[in-house]
């Protein structure tokens, strides 16, 4: 299910109740996935398409606010283009989801931040370049 990872949900609840502090995130790296990565790092690693995660600037790389299509949700939307060279992906295939990590190659619960759905799904071949234009990649929480 797209949204915050279990680890980050626990961290947010701990902060809100005064029992913990969240680690400072120093990087945002977007992985492409061929299925829903779920709420755990293991699921996100299994779902990953083998292309290099692309960096999004922490803070200024996202606009955060109320989701215009559903005011019950808060969303973060990318402010810069995110481009992938799909040659290493072993395609053809289909991108259905994305996962946000705090490191370019990490696989631990602490490094897995959240995920989202790619709508519509994006089919690719190894000769393709896949691009999410600014404003087209959205993470939503309720």
Cα(36)–Cα(46) distance, integer angstroms = 10
List pLDDT tens digits, range 79-113: 999 999 887 777 788 999 999 999 999 888 888 88
DSSP per-residue codes, 94-133: EEEEEEEESSSS--STTTEEEEEEEEEEEEE-TT-EEEE-
3-state SS class at 12: helix
The yes-or-no verdict on residue 54 having pLDDT over 90 is yes
Residue 2, pLDDT score:
64
pLDDT attached to residue 74: 81
Beta bridge partners of 85: 129
Please give the distance of CA 117 from its chain centroid, rounded to a whole number: 9
In this predicted structure, what is the pLDDT of residue 44? 85
**Distances from the Cα of 17 to the Cαs of 23, 73, 135, in angstroms?**
16, 21, 33
Helix (H, G, I), strand (E, B) or coil at 13: helix
CA angle 1, 141, 20 (to 5 degrees): 100
- The whole-number pLDDT of residue 134 equals 94
Matching residue, tokens 């989801």: 97
| pLDDT at site 142 | 66
């Amino acid at each position: 299910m797209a949204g915050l990872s279990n680890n980050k949900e626990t961290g947010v609840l701990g902060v809100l109740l005064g029992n913990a502090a969240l680690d400072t995130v120093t990087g945002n790296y977007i992985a492409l996935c061929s299925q829903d990565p779920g709420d755990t790092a293991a699921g996100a690693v299994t779902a990953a398409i083998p292309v290099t995660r692309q960096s999004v600037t922490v803070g200024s790389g996202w606009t955060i606010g109320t989701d215009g299509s559903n005011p019950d949700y808060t969303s973060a939307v990318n402010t810069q283009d995110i481009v992938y060279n799909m040659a290493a992906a072993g395609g053809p295939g289909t991108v259905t989801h994305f996962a946000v990590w705090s490191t370019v190659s990490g696989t631990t619960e602490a490094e897995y931040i959240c995920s989202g759905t790619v709508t519509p799904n994006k089919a690719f071949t190894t000769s393709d370049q896949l691009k999410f234009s600014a404003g087209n990649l959205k993470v939503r929480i309720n």
